[in-house]
Structures are given as structure tokens and as C-alpha cells.
Amino acid sequence: MPLTNTGAVPGPLDAGMPKTNMAFAGELGGLAASLWEDLMDTIVVEPLAKGWAVRTDAVENPMVFRTGRAAEDTARALAFKLAQAGKLVRLRLKLRNSSTEARFVCLPPLEPQAPPNLVSLPDVRQPEIETA
């Protein structure tokens, strides 16, 4: 029986026409990425006009700090506490000029007594190709 789009997953085949296995697999991949994003709590450190804010899904109001260091330390501590509680946490640190951003994922510990794992995410931009 061919797979058809029922409208549950938007795609180019909304008229109910049969999907190919590749199109269906592509939509499942996007769906899996979306579910992965939904499982993660996000903590963002960003500049304000005077000071720094820590925003998170876990707290409705932002936390405001005078220095970026205090905001970053608080964001990391919160990420570690959420990870220790078993949550996946995405940590984003924005600079005042917004030209660069550090990104981390804080993973729950593998063993109960171990600390959470903070993993730096590489820059996703394509490197320039050198010409000879």
C-alpha cells in the first residue's frame, strides 16, 4: 500500500498523491529534527542596552546582570542543573556586537554521580575554499 500525505506532515504532496520512499524519509528526518528541538530547553545570554540578559524556557522573565561574565556563569550553572535533572539543554552566548555566537549543548550525565557534559557546537558556516 503506497504512503500518502494525510496533511499531518506538510509537504509538496498535500493533494494525497502517493509518496516515494525518499520523500517520506526526508519528511521523517525533518520531523525527527523538530522533535529533537522540542526536547531541548534553551538558555540564551544576550546583550541589553545596559547589561546582559539570561533568557530560558524554564523561567518566564529574563534574568538581568551588569556584566556578561555574571550572566554567562549563571547560564552555565542553570544549564548544569537542568542537565543534572535529566534535561537536554542548548546554551547560546551572544556577543554585544552580535557578529559571533558561542553555542553549546549540555547533556545529562551518563552516571548519577558524574557531572553533566557541556559540548561546544562547531560553527556551521562553510569555510572559504582556498584557490591555488
What pTM value is reported for the model? Answer: 0.65
Give me the mean pLDDT over the 3-9 stretch: 42
Does residue 75 lie within any of the structural domains? yes
Grid cell, residue 120, equals 561546544
Does residue 54 lie within any of the structural domains? yes
pLDDT tens per residue, range 65-106 = 999 999 999 999 999 999 999 999 999 999 888 666 888 999
Does residue 21 lie within any of the structural domains? no
Does residue 110 lie within any of the structural domains? yes
Grid cell, residue 93, equals 552566548
Distance, CA of 28 to CA of 118 (rounded, Å): 28
Does residue 1 lie within any of the structural domains? no
79: domain range? 40-120
Does residue 78 lie within any of the structural domains? yes
User: What band does 22 get if pLDDT is binned at 50, 70 and 90?
Assistant: very low
Q: Coil, helix or strand for 126?
A: coil
Question: Does residue 48 surpass a pLDDT of 80?
Answer: yes
Does residue 27 lie within any of the structural domains? no
Does residue 25 lie within any of the structural domains? no
Grid cell, residue 58, equals 524554564
Number of domains making up the chain: 1
